[in-house]
Amino acid sequence: MAETTATTVEKQATDREIKDQVHRYYAATTEDYLKYYQSGWHHHMHYGFDRDLPRGGNPTEHMVRYLAALAGLKPGDQVLDAGCGVGGSSIFLAREMGCRCIGITLVESQAHLARGFAAASFAKAGASPAKNPSGGKGKHTAPPARFAVNDFHVPAFKPGSFDVVWAVESFDHAVDKEAWVASMFDLLKPGGRLIIADGFRAGNPEDAPQAREYSSFLAGWAVPHLCSPAEMETYGARAGFQLLHGEDISADVLPHARAIFRFGLIFIPLRWMLRKLRLTSSEKLGNAYATYYQYRTLKQGLWAYCAYCFRKPA
């Protein structure tokens, strides 16, 4: 019993440490996304999707449209944006598709930014997020997109609250990924869908240099580990989900991965020097390394970008 208790305490300490790392990462680097990834314009903090992208289209919004089609979203659907960043998906789904969205994040500054971006976006579209969905003006009258600070490992919602749980590049931060999938099953209504778009382990490093690159990629983005696609499907099945769609879309995100890689070429030497002078944080330096190594390790086949849609039986 003493050994079991010690193991539990050690696991809880590790879980807290990982969550603290994720919090520190986003608290320090959100401004990088706003400044350099143009998240201040489109509010998305994830890879773009280039398949059938219209000329002049926004690849990050195109990713949201692709995933929304997988989920079969319709007006009035209740969506939990689990790991919402600065609100990009929630704002888009509420404004463009009439969904009712709640975005949760560990970081208060992200929730604050998301609320401001939502208010500005709805005002620009001619719809107030405070209005009834049937009572606004403009081409699209959106229901509320709300944001709160909440740990997505222990979401503060009743079972059966949502039609869709939306996890775009947040699932990789889950400490116990199988337990997280099971908890999302409980939050969904019968017939509800779980959308996951993220990185998944695809291969093993061939040598020590590859292993270091892979480790730098994960550590730089505060990712404890990636599961494999096979493990992902197993977790879904064990939770009780039906797999509606599973697809490796690495080729469709590769152009965006390459663009992010170029930031690393610029920022690694600059931030390394600033860190030596104690003028920047270790999280910002780590982010620079991750932007570089995410592309190299993707090209090496060490991970893949996959999209999944699971359904809770009706």
Q: Measured between alpha carbons, how far is 276 from 281 in angstroms, rounded to an integer?
A: 10
Residue 82: per-residue pLDDT: 98
d(CA 91, CA 81): 10
DSSP string computed for the chain: -HHHHHHHHHHHHHHHHHHHHHHHHHHHHHHHHHHHS-HHHH---S----TTPPTT--HHHHHHHHHHHHHT--TT-EEEEES-TTSHHHHHHHHHH--EEEEEES-HHHHHHHHHHHHHHHHHHT--TTS-TTS--SS-----EEEEE--TTS--S-TT-EEEEEEES-GGG-SSHHHHHHHHHHHEEEEEEEEEEEEEE----SSHHHHHHHHHHHHHTT------HHHHHHHHHHHT-EEEEEEE-HHHHHHHHHHHHHHHHHHHHHHHHHHHTT-S-HHHHHHHHHHHHHHHHHHTTSEEEEEEEEE---
What is the separation of C-alpha 191 from the centre of its chain, rounded to a whole number of angstroms? 23
pLDDT at 144: 76
Are the C-beta atoms of 103 and 145 separated by less than 8 Å?
yes
Q: pLDDT per residue over 149-160, tens digit each?
A: 999 999 999 999
Sequence-ordered list of residues with C-beta below 8 angstroms from that of 107, at least 6 positions apart, any chain? 23, 26, 27, 30, 149
List 79's β-bridge partners, or say none. 101, 164
Q: Do the Cβ atoms of 174 and 137 come closer than 8 Å?
A: no
> Burial code of 30-40, b = ≥16 C-beta within 10 A, e = fewer?
bebbbebbebe
Structure confidence by residue, pLDDT tens digits, 49-82 = 999 999 999 999 999 999 999 999 999 999 999 9
pLDDT confidence of residue 127? 57
Mean pLDDT, residues 122-132 = 62
> Is residue 307 within 8 Å of residue 234, measured between CB atoms?
no
pLDDT at 142 exceeding the cut of 50: no
Cβ burial, residue 292 (10 Å; 0-12/13-18/19+): buried
- The closest of 63, 56, 60, 69 to 97, measured between CA atoms, is 69
Residue 48, both tokens: 């773009």
Instruction: Report the Cα 184 to chain-centroid distance in Å.
Output: 15
CA-based angle 87:122:150, to the nearest 5? 30
User: In this predicted structure, what is the pLDDT of residue 12?
Assistant: 58
What's the pTM value of the predicted model, to 2 decimals?
A: 0.90
Confidence band, pLDDT 50/70/90 cuts, at residue 123: confident
pLDDT of residue 204: 96
Residue 112, pLDDT > 70, answer yes
Chain centroid to Cα 301, Å, comes to 21
Mean pLDDT of the chain, nearest integer: 91
**Residue ranges per domain, the chain?**
22-202+223-250+305-311
DSSP result, 87-145? SHHHHHHHHHH--EEEEEES-HHHHHHHHHHHHHHHHHHT--TTS-TTS--SS-----E
Fold annotation for 22-202+223-250+305-311: Rossmann fold (3.40.50)
Q: What percent of the chain has pLDDT over 70?
A: 89
What is the band of 140 on the pLDDT scale with cuts at 50, 70, 90? very low
